[in-house]
Amino acid sequence: MTPDSFSDGGAHLGVDQAVEAGLSMVARGASIIDVGGESTRPGSEAVPEPVELARVRPVIEALRARTDVVISVDTTKAAVARAALAAGADVINDVSALTLDPQMVEVAVESGCGVILMHMRGQPKTMQRGDLSSADIMGEVVQYLHQRIAHVVARGVSRTAICVDPGIGFGKTMEQNLRLIAESARLKTLGRPVLLGPSRKSFIGALTDRPVSCRGAGTGAACAAAAARGIHLLRVHDVAEMRDVIIVTEAIESVSQTSGGR
């Protein structure tokens, strides 16, 4: 529900249009619909709370009236999250891991909703600037998420409500994004479901020299690599195509394991 998202900004600005897009994704195999009113692409500007709320609440209300699919609200603002949950959302998807708004943990505890904790270096407007070097990016991500899990659980969030996301493209170089996917099985040591969001992102464009609208095949390769490593959730744009990628990848992995990898 934003005019400036990196991939489909402006494509679903009308409430009816957005709801139909969400229902279409459900029909194509999506198990969760993520609704956001503030772009978090690199260089994006923050959106005032009333504007963000006006974008997401009517869409969530309309979706909830027409489907029982899980709905997550992509926000860093406690007031937006609280209103979205009241409108029918089930999960808070916070790119700041509940750090940007001190009231966000309280909202999560009060509601008992699901929570997605993501790793991000810096903030969306500046996260791709400056020194992005890291001796062990996955080690850094795992340590950070471990600390955030411990913190929010100590504040009252149920551990079983938490999902973790390494934040592909959020303050990372192309090589670091690739390493996070290649080593994504390490995230399972946190003991919580793992979500990856590689879809159409700039590292795929850098590798393939394709514009955003033509990164489906590259996204499929990233999703296949993640699925082969046992990642639990993938946030994608092309639902039906990526569902097929996952089904085939998991079938191959199953046969490989049964035959001892031969």
Q: Which phi and psi angles does 155 have, rounded to 5°?
A: -85, -10
3-state DSSP percent of the chain in helix, strand and coil, to 5: 50, 10, 40
* CB burial of residue 134 (10 Å; 0-12, 13-18, 19+): middle
Q: Is 210 a catalytic residue?
A: no
Structure-token pair, residue 133: 């070097």
Tokens 């399972």, residue located: 188
Radius of gyration of the chain (CA): 18
| 172 flagged as catalytic | no
| Residue 257 tokens, joined | 């394991």
Count CA atoms within 13 Å of residue 149 on its CB side.
Answer: 20
Q: Which of 201, 210, 229, 262 is catalytic?
A: 201
Pairing of strands 91-94, 114-118: parallel
* Buried b / exposed e along 189-210 (16+ C-beta atoms within 10 A): ebebbbbbbbbbbbbbbeeeee
Residues belonging to the active site: 201, 235
